[in-house]
């Protein structure tokens, strides 16, 4: 019989932190070092993004050489995601609990819902990713791994994404196909039999492969845009808008498209009055009346380098406020922070977990959709 809540809270918070760590896939793969500067709800973390610098030949001279472009741009992470999930135990149920053998099933489910929320939020940032590999509405890796080796991996390499800390995150169907390929099974190809033994792909072909049950699907509620043409004779390099006409089914944010005679891939940031705002900026001007091809609805599997996404999780209260009815813990390994608060309501006790976090897409060029 439980005659004090403290042992129950201690067990629930310890178990809950393990569940959060195990189920939050994306926070373990993205750049979460910004949690060190996260403090309070509503805070905004400014993240500097370095400009490309080109090496130049040394030319001794009495004249001071001009410096390269050292202008920093920045992105922001807003700590605006305050989420909670909880469950109730009645007075009668509490009297029947043996803490040593206590079943934490309800607590596990509450924390798992928070982990899914964090995971889905980060994955939802895909709407800013413009690179694509694979074919919409076709599950990748059915017979080979070229959607990674010659597709997404090549995109990351062309954009000079760092070679370390790369990840491929797949839905169940894509992961099921991938794990059946020789390149991810045969020890002579991947250098280890670990994936075969555990049923996990793990590290192979230059990336850590993960199954994620929260992979989103991108759908244009208007239907796939078709028949659209460039309607602008004066587009120029560095433009991020273009006027279009003649098509049906207007584009929405997150739609990806290509333009005839251009090798670039683009994503729609917004659409209004026949003008698309897009990313990335043009590297070559678009010809008037060029055909625009939009991808159909697709599962958004993603490949990325860690620095593509920035993630921060902040304590909700000062640790000195921990008490018999409220405990907050931070996982030393992942930086994930969670609080458990217990309150009394109508002859029952509410056990409520909450978290505070924020995330943003820092470097879209370091990520690629693998369409499914």
Q: Which long-range contacts (CB under 8 A, 24 or more apart) does 343-347 make?
A: 345/88, 347/90, 347/91
* Structure tokens belonging to residue 104: 């934490």
Q: Is residue 64 part of a domain?
A: no
CB-based burial, 58-74: b 16+ in 10 Å, e otherwise: eeeeeeeeeeeeeeeee
β partners of residue 210: 169
**pLDDT under 70 in the chain at which residues?**
1-4, 38-42, 64-70, 99-103, 187-199
Identify whether residues 343 and 283 lie together within a single domain.
no
Report CA-CA distances (Å) from 171 to 168, 254, 299, 302, 371: 10, 19, 8, 9, 11
Please count the structural domains in the chain: 2
Q: Is residue 65 part of a domain?
A: no
Cis peptide before 280 (omega within 30 of 0): yes
Identify whether residues 24 and 115 lie together within a single domain.
yes
Identify whether residues 283 and 348 lie together within a single domain.
no
Taking alpha carbons only, the member of 181, 180, 184, 210 closest to residue 303 is 210
- CA distance linking residue 206 with residue 59, whole number of Å: 39
Taking alpha carbons only, the member of 271, 142, 174, 293 closest to residue 227 is 293
Identify whether residues 350 and 320 lie together within a single domain.
yes
Report CA-CA distances (Å) from 318 to 5, 9, 108, 274, 329: 21, 18, 24, 50, 11
- CA distance linking residue 120 with residue 123, whole number of Å: 5
Identify whether residues 93 and 45 lie together within a single domain.
yes
Q: Kind of pairing, strands 207-211 and 166-170?
A: parallel
Percent of the chain with pLDDT over 90: 63
Q: Is residue 257 part of a domain?
A: yes
CA dihedral of residues 189, 195, 199, 200 (deg, nearest 10) = -110
Give SS3 for 86: strand
pLDDT at 100: 67
Identify whether residues 231 and 291 lie together within a single domain.
yes
pLDDT at 1: 39
Identify whether residues 17 and 121 lie together within a single domain.
yes
pLDDT at 41: 59
Give SS3 for 165: coil
Q: Is residue 313 part of a domain?
A: yes
Q: Is residue 162 part of a domain?
A: no
**Domain containing 251: what range?**
220-296
pLDDT, tens digit, 9 for 90 and up, residues 89-121: 888 887 777 766 666 788 899 999 999 999 999
Report CA-CA distances (Å) from 62 to 59, 235, 277: 10, 42, 47
- For residues 115 and 23, is the Cβ–Cβ distance under 8 A? yes
pLDDT at 199: 62
Kindly write down the DSSP assignment for every residue of 183-201, as one continuous string. Answer: HHH-HHHHS-SHHHHHS--
Identify whether residues 228 and 325 lie together within a single domain.
no
Identify whether residues 281 and 313 lie together within a single domain.
no
Q: Could you tell me the strand order of the sheet in which 256-259 lies?
A: 229-230, 241-245, 275-279, 266-272, 256-259, 292-294
Query: To which H or E segment does residue 298 belong?
Result: strand 298-305
CATH number at residue 240: 2.40.30.290
Identify whether residues 243 and 341 lie together within a single domain.
no
List Cβ neighbours of 90 (8 Å cut-off, separation of 6 or more).
347, 348, 349
* Residues counted in the chain: 372
pLDDT at 39: 62
CATH number at residue 33: 3.30.2400
């Amino acid at each position: 019989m439980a005659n004090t809540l403290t042992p129950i809270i201690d067990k629930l918070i310890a178990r809950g932190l393990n569940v959060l760590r195990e189920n939050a896939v994306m926070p373990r793969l993205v750049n979460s070092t910004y949690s060190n500067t996260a403090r309070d709800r509503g805070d905004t973390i400014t993240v500097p993004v370095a400009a490309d610098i080109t090496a130049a030949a040394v030319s001794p001279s009495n004249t001071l050489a001009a410096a390269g472009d050292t202008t920093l741009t920045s992105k922001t992470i807003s700590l605006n995601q305050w989420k909670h999930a909880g469950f109730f135990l009645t007075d009668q149920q509490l009297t029947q609990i043996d803490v040593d053998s206590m079943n934490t099933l309800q607590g596990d489910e509450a924390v798992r819902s928070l982990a899914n929320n964090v995971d889905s939020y980060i994955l939802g940032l895909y709407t800013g990713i413009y690179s694509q590999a694979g074919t919409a509405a076709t599950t990748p890796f059915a017979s080979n791994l070229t959607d990674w080796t010659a597709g997404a991996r090549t995109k990351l390499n062309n954009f000079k994404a760092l070679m370390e800390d790369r990840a491929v995150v797949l839905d169940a169907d894509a992961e099921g196909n991938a794990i059946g390929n020789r390149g991810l099974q045969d020890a002579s190809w991947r250098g280890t039999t670990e994936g075969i033994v555990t049923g996990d792909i793990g590290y192979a072909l230059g990336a850590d492969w993960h199954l994620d049950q929260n992979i989103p699907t991108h759908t244009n509620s208007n239907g796939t845009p078709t028949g659209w043409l460039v309607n602008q004779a004066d587009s120029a390099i560095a433009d991020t808008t273009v006027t279009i006409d003649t098509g049906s089914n207007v584009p929405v944010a997150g739609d990806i498209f290509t333009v005839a005679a251009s090798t670039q891939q683009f994503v729609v940031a917004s659409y209004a009055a026949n003008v698309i705002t897009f990313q990335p900026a043009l590297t070559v001007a678009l010809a008037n009346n060029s055909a625009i091809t939009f991808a159909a609805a697709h599962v958004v599997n993603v490949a990325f380098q860690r620095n593509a996404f920035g993630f921060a999780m902040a304590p909700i209260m000062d640790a000195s406020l921990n008490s018999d009815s409220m405990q907050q813990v931070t996982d030393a390994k992942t930086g994930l922070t969670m609080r458990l608060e217990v309150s009394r309501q109508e002859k029952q006790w509410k056990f409520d977990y909450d978290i505070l976090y924020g995330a943003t897409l820092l470097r879209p060029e370091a990520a690629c959709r693998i369409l499914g």
